[in-house]
A and B are shown apart, each in its own frame.
Chain A
Amino acid sequence: MQILVTGTLLGGTYALIALGLTLQYGAARIMNLANGETLVAACFVAFWLFSRLGVNPILGMVIIAPAALVLNWLIYAWLLRPLVRRAKNRGMLEVDSILATFGLLFLFQGLMLLTFGGAYFNYKFLAEPFSILGTPYALNRVVAFVAGVLVSSLLYLFLYHTRQGAAVRAIAVDPASAQLVAIDVSRTAGFSFALGGALTACGGTLLSTFYTFNASMGVLFTMKALIIVIMGGVGDIRGATLAAFILGLSETAVASLIDPGLTLAATYALFILVLLFRPQGILRRGAA
């Protein structure tokens, strides 16, 4: 039981890390290598708001998410849209965007190093026991999980029950045909990218309540997110969420039942299995 709860909480954390990238890569077709840096930047802002101004990180999200939305929109408009325009096919855009966001990664990292230095940061927020069925868990993780579920449900409602959301899903499936039904692909892609950035920032804010972070940790998160996005199937929100929970549960099970040293091995074993048997993603049918 304890494994189930701990695994679910960890899965929630992973979902938070990966959802933003799913949108950015799946819908906007930008393989954003600076995704982890966006996350860490949000950690820093949350830390700063909390320790300087005493702003509760959960409330901080109300400031951080819109700021990230605007910032990512600007990044898309100035840096990435020219790449999208000149790309002749999807492969070319992928290569170009990987190179551009790789540069962005270093820019963000450098800026954070400049402002905060390389030291480790963490702060104390709700680091108290919270009892579920008689076993104590970290309250900050539980709160982050609940907030994460809320954010993802809102995202789900948006994607599956609004016109704008349907447009996002449409360009994820086929940008060329989406144009035929009067969807402004360029605008929608920009919006998806920005929304993805905002989601990542939410993830970072929640993560900062229980993680020790520093300016160079972004790559770790990008790697994790990438594995989840690929496992879930590119652009598939439900698949990515499912993949995140499978990863969280299996890592915790391996750590508790076999050996904590093998969690990474478990992650990559799962990854290989998915690539071998369902290369199109866990939930997708047929060839992608």
Chain B
Amino acid sequence: MLRRTFNALLISAVVFGTAGGIASAEETLKIGVSAPKTGVQSGGAAAVYWPNVQLWVHDLNQKGGIKVDGKQLKIDLVEYDDKSSPEEAVKNIQRLATVDKVDFIISPYTTGINLATAPLIARYGYPQLVATGNANDLRAFIKQWPNSFWLLGKASDLSTGIVGTLKTLRDKGQVGNKVALAYVAEALGLEMIDSAKPAFKEAGFDIVYETSYPIGTQDLSPVISGAKAAKPDAFVAYSYPPDSFALTEQAQIQAFDVNAFYVGVGGALTGYGQRFGKQAEGILSMGGINPDDQAYKSYRESHKKVTGQDTDYWAGAVVYASLEVLAQAIEKAGKERAAVVKAIKSGTFDTVIGKVSFEDNVVKKLWTVGQWRGGVFQGVNGLSVEGAKEPVKKPAWN
């Protein structure tokens, strides 16, 4: 009996094996991806990363594939879960390069893992288009790994965006000088606060309260009551999604009314706007987009249609744009990795976030702050972006 089962297994394995062989005889472009499907970062990745990878592969394959050296090649995607751990990510990249022998890879998710895998990605000569990470000292980094490209700019660009917005509001007489700061004690929060504090001081803001909190904490009522006791005019938190939600809810419950309320990652999620509804009106957050832009609008629609979920108003579009850059560079330069890196360096690409080009490997045109207005997250500040709206004073919680 056992032997018969075994034989059946063997036969089916052979049959499927040959079938697979025939199917894969068609030439494809092998793309590898390693990012969190489990672990602490999986929530963010499920919102802005994976659906865009899925959408990109779907879009390319639907139009017949990607044009490489005169041939239309369909995308063959090899996916691995990095379990939100840098060690695992390094192993995955190694495997993608040596065992799966992929033609190109999609950059991993988050700053930390992109930094950790950069040496390995550079060794195999893949272009690394970082759409979900940034750092302060990018220049030294790019000198070492010239194949890395940064679509979110420097950490200081992002963290000081809110300083600019608060300045605008102050000039209009809508917000005072006193700022309360909170940040998550992890790579993102630390990088942000490092560059933000001097910027606040330089702009003449008075930091009346400052605190960090451990990653994973959702019991943040002490943070809000501490901030409230300092009577600030503006509240700024460099936070991650679960804490962004928790801080907002606590502020609302303790009736912590400030003229500007800013949260970090997560505030640009469509779910954030849905969760807080009318209460979200006037809340500022990291990120932004011009939601009225036609390219973004149609991207948003097809994202919903293909993946079944809404994209956000920031990083999701950037991830998709980074993949568009990769595809366009491959179409221009072929399968040769070094040539593709060169093409990315010098080219200008048409994407869902507009024309993208790199200056010393860093995008100089990016959104930094957005604001919820009438259920839509509108970009209000950025570096040389078009279509930014004027920020307004936040109404009291109602």
Does A256 touch B at the CB level, under 8 Å?
Answer: yes
Q: Which residue of A lies closest to B185 (CB)?
A: A261
Q: In the bound complex, how far is the Cα of B81 from the Cα of A113, in angstroms? A: 12
Q: Are A263 and B214 in contact (CB under 8 A)?
A: yes
Q: Which residue of B lies closest to A119 (CB)?
A: B46
Q: Which residue of B lies closest to A264 (CB)?
A: B214
Does A255 touch B at the CB level, under 8 Å?
Answer: yes
B5 to chain A, nearest CB (A): 24
Interface string of B22-60 (1 = CB under 8 A from A): 000000000000001111101111110010000000000
B211 to chain A, nearest CB (A): 5
**Best-buried of A123, A128, A261 by chain B (most CB within 10 Å):** A261
Residues of chain A contacted by B331 (CB below 8 angstroms) = none
Q: Are B38 and A118 in contact (CB under 8 A)?
A: yes
Q: In the bound complex, how far is the Cα of B309 from the Cα of A124, in angstroms? A: 19
Q: Are B222 and A256 in contact (CB under 8 A)?
A: yes
Does B291 touch A at the CB level, under 8 Å?
Answer: no
Does B145 touch A at the CB level, under 8 Å?
Answer: no
Does B216 touch A at the CB level, under 8 Å?
Answer: yes
From 117 to 156 in chain A, residues with beta carbon under 8 angstroms from any chain B beta carbon are 117-120, 122-124, 127-129, 136-139
From 254 to 282 in chain A, residues with beta carbon under 8 angstroms from any chain B beta carbon are 255-256, 259-261, 263-264
Q: Are B217 and A263 in contact (CB under 8 A)?
A: yes
Interface string of A93-131 (1 = CB under 8 A from B): 000000000000000010001000111101110011100
A3 to chain B, nearest CB (A): 8
Q: Which residue of B lies closest to A106 (CB)?
A: B38
Q: In the bound complex, how far is the Cα of B42 from the Cα of A215, in angstroms? A: 9
Does B246 touch A at the CB level, under 8 Å?
Answer: yes
Residues of chain B contacted by A255 (CB below 8 angstroms) = 213, 222-223
**8 nearest A-B residue pairs (beta carbon):** A118-B42, A255-B222, A118-B46, A261-B212, A119-B46, A212-B242, A120-B43, A260-B213
Q: Are A113 and B38 in contact (CB under 8 A)?
A: yes
* Segment with Cβ contacts to A, from B125-133, B168-176, B252-260, B351-359: B252-260
Q: Are B39 and A129 in contact (CB under 8 A)?
A: no
A189 to chain B, nearest CB (A): 32
Q: Which residue of A lies closest to B221 (CB)?
A: A6
Q: Are B225 and A256 in contact (CB under 8 A)?
A: yes
Does B241 touch A at the CB level, under 8 Å?
Answer: yes
Residues of chain B contacted by A3 (CB below 8 angstroms) = 222
